[in-house]
Structure 1
Amino acid sequence: MGLFSYGALQERPVQQLILGRTLEGRADQLPGFILTVAELGEEAALVSGTSRHPMATLGATAGAHVCGTLYRVLPADLSAIDARCDILFHRVTLLLRSGEQAWVYVDRRYRPPARAAAHPSTAAVAACARQASTV
């Protein structure tokens, strides 16, 4: 499965820094989402040069979509990206305009429908949050 990026990971220097190599990809779109801006910490600014990063959030308007790039990645690449990903994001699988399923880092408040698979760490966090809310 590929990785859809709409932010800093589309920049070759960021790919080189995080993955130790550059990626080849193709343009695609994430339907149903819009871009907002997230204020991230100093570590993010060291990687990309800014603390303000785009964040895909579920959109409420017809035709909403986020433009980006679909990359083929290795499991080790996802682990490296997960290690750098801010807590405001989580990784889920979503259907792109091309019809391909891809991993996408989105606003952590988004919960995929039951048929979509969330990253295992996201599911564990959500389960803990549900359990804590019932106590």
Structure 2
Amino acid sequence: MVDQTAHQLFSYGTLQLPEVQLARFGRLLEGRSDALPGFRLTCVTITDPEVIAASGSDRHPLVVASPQGADAVPGSVFAITDAELAAADDYEVDDYARTEVVLRSGARAWAYLAARPEEGAAR
């Protein structure tokens, strides 16, 4: 059997929720704990009805760069396929931009960060 998991995805928010995983990927993902150093959590209000229905909320976490070097955002890393990465891209609204990051463990992963970091810094 060929391993189809080509990507590592770091989630600190709603992609960790079982109901979102089932709606987006058709399966529950197995993750491992990690953290994104140099960032802090803020929130964004979502207006996309499909995203709100999947997550159950219009308030979603969003990470922005932190001026405090010791800050880190905890989350989970999931091994996902090309199709699942495309489904995650489709789920995330324009407030997020997929970016490659280096996690506390040293692993590289995709993460959805603030698309306009200057806006998140003021929240």
* TM-score normalized by the length of structure 2: 0.86
User: 1:30 and 2:50 equivalent?
Assistant: no
| Identical columns (%) | 39
Which has a greater percent of strand? Answer: 2
Which runs of 4 or more aligned residues in structure 1 lie more than 3 Å from their structure 2 counterparts after TM superposition? none
Residue 84 of structure 2 is matched in structure 1 by 77
C-alpha RMSD of matched pairs (Å): 0.9
Deviations 1:16-38 (A, max 9, x none): 01111110010000000000000
Give the drift of 1:77: 0.4
Distance, in Å, in 2 between the alignment partners of 1:61 and 1:49 is 31
Give the drift of 1:72: 0.5
Count how many residue pairs are aligned between Structure 1 and Structure 2. Answer: 110
Higher relative contact order (Cα pairs below 8 Å, separated by 6+ residues): 2
User: 1:108 and 2:115 equivalent?
Assistant: yes
Which has a greater percent of helix? Answer: 1
Give the drift of 1:12: 1.1
User: 1:15 and 2:21 equivalent?
Assistant: yes
* TM-score normalized by the length of structure 1: 0.79
User: 1:50 and 2:57 equivalent?
Assistant: yes
Residue 6 of structure 1 is matched in structure 2 by 12
Distance, in Å, in 2 between the alignment partners of 1:13 and 1:47 is 7
Q: Quick check: which has more Rg, 1 or 2?
A: 1
Give the drift of 1:62: 2.2
Deviations 1:100-131 (A, max 9, x none): 00000000024xxxxxxxxxxxxxxxxxxxxx
Deviations 1:51-103 (A, max 9, x none): 00000111111201100000101111010111111000010100000000000
Give the drift of 1:44: 2.1
